Structure 1
C-alpha cells in the first residue's frame, strides 16, 4: 500500500483467498484492504494516538439517511454527552479532494451537526470548524486534541 502523510503506525493484516484484510480496532474485525480503507485506518490511528480521542467515542462506517437517500459516513467522534463532535470523510489517495468532497461532507453534516470536519485522502488533510450561525466552515491548521476540544 501507498505511504501516506501520517506518522508510522502498526497494523494487523491477514491474507485470505489472496485478499489482504486489515484489522479495524473500532469495528473489531478484519476489513478488506482497499486504498480508502488504508486511509481510514490511518485516520483512526491518528485520532487514537496523536489526538488522544478515546476509542469508545469513535464510530466507523455507519448508515445515515439524507433526504430519503441511504449514505454511509466514514468516521465520527462523539462527545462524552453523546453529541457529535467530529465528522470525517476519507478518500483513496488517488482521489483528489475537490469542492464536491466538501459538498458531500457538508450534506452529511446537515443531518449530523458535527462541530468539526476532517477530509483526507491520506496525502492531504483538511480540518474545519463549523460556523452554524453563518452557515459556513472555517479552515483550521489542525484538529484539537480530545482534552482541548471546545
Structure 2
C-alpha cells in the first residue's frame, strides 16, 4: 500500500448526547447496559459504552437500518478468531462499514487503524471507521488502487 494519507481532523460525533438514552442498571458490583442490537444486558466497560453510543448515532442520526447491524461478529483473520466491534451491511446485505471501538482514554493511533484494517481483510468493506467516543476517523477504501482516503463525515447508509 502507498504511504498512509495524513488524516484530517478527527470527526466529533458528539456521542455523549446519547448517554441519557442508554438503559443502564446496577447489579451487585457491576454496571450493566442493555444492548439494543444484541437484546441483552452487557457489562458496561468503557469500550462497550462507546459501542452503545455509536449504535445510537448510527440508528438515530444516520438512519442506518438496525436490522443490518451486527455487534461482535466473529471473523477469521490469519487463521485466528477475532470479533468485529460493529459491522454494518448495506440494503443488499453486503458489508458496508466496519467499526473498531476503543475506550475513551485510548488514543486513535495508526496501530488502531491497522487493527481495523486487519479485521477487514476477509470482509472487504468500502468504509472503515475507528472511534474512541471523543474522536472518530472514517476511511474509504479503494481496493483496485490499493489505497484509501480519509473522510470528513460518516457515509450515508445505502
Distance 1:54 1:129 in 2: 20
Contact 2:73 2:87 in 1 (8 A): no
Q: What stretches of structure 1 of length at least 5 have no aligned partner? A: none
1:36 aligns with 2:67: no
1:70 shift after superposition: 0.9
Matched, 1:137 2:143: no
3-state SS, counterpart of residue 98 of structure 2:
strand
Map 1:28-107 onto structure 2 (within 5 A): 28-107=39-118
- 1:80 Cα deviation after fit: 1.8
Residue 112 of structure 1 aligns to a residue whose secondary structure is coil
Tell me which of the two structures has the higher relative contact order, counting C-alpha pairs closer than 8 angstroms and 6 or more residues apart: 2
Whole-angstrom distance in 1 between the partners of 2:32 and 2:78: 33
TM-score, normalised on structure 1?
0.92
| TM-superposed deviation, 1:108 | 1.1
Q: Would you say how many aligned residue pairs link Structure 1 and Structure 2? A: 144
Residue pair 2:102, 2:131 contacting (<8 A) in 1 also: yes
Q: Distance in 1 between matches of 2:136 and 2:113?
A: 12
| TM-score between the two structures when normalised by the length of structure 2 | 0.87
Q: Please state how far the C-alpha of 1:75 moved relative to its aligned partner.
A: 0.1
